[in-house]
């Protein structure tokens, strides 16, 4: 088992969730796809092949719980929910560059957003978070396009 998976399972346990066969398989699957977002339907299909008796609701609930405790990140593409294995447990607040061609996800370490700018525009509102994502062509796809 790799370090990322061990860390994810430790987070699961420390968040008072049991490490079941299904959850471990879910972590293993997501760890194999950690540099791309994966459609939730693909995750669901994979797990239902391994465990035919597991329900869609159980899979989706586990993904939601994994998001809440920081094991996965979510993203919407073409009205389809996608998940990605968390790439940086030490710094859960981070952003991404997503290649529009190959789908590779690269972490951006710096947060460019000044929340006070938005707070001034939303008097009385409480901002609890944000997401920032850059899209374009990665260096390899840009090179291949030339």
Cα angle: 25, vertex 26, 29; to 5 degrees: 85
Query: Cβ–Cβ contacts within 10 Å for residue 1, how many?
Result: 11
Q: Is 130 annotated as a binding residue?
A: yes
Query: Cβ–Cβ contacts within 10 Å for residue 4, how many?
Result: 17
How far is Cα 86 from Cα 33, in angstroms, rounded to an integer?
A: 10
How far is Cα 23 from Cα 8, in angstroms, rounded to an integer?
A: 10
Q: Is 93 annotated as a binding residue?
A: yes
Q: Is 138 annotated as a binding residue?
A: yes
Q: Is 102 annotated as a binding residue?
A: yes
What phi, psi does 140 have (nearest 5°)? Answer: -65, -45
| Binding-site residue positions | 93, 99, 102, 130, 138, 141
| Binding-site residue positions for Zn(2+) | 99, 102, 138, 141
| Binding-site residue positions for Fe cation | 93, 130
């Amino acid at each position: 088992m790799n370090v990322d998976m061990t860390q994810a399972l430790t987070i699961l346990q420390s968040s008072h969730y049991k490490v079941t066969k299904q959850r471990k398989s879910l972590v293993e699957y997501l760890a194999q796809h950690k540099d791309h977002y994966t459609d939730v339907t693909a995750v669901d299909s994979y797990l239902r092949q391994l465990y035919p008796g597991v329900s869609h609701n159980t899979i989706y609930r586990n993904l939601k719980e994994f998001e809440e405790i920081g094991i996965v990140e979510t993203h919407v593409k073409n009205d389809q929910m996608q998940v990605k294995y968390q790439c940086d447990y030490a710094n859960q607040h981070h952003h991404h560059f997503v290649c529009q061609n190959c789908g590779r996800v690269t972490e951006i370490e710096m947060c460019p957003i000044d929340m006070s700018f938005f707070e001034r525009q939303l008097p009385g509102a409480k901002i609890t978070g944000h997401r920032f994502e850059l899209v374009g062509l990665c260096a390899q796809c840009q090179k291949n396009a030339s």
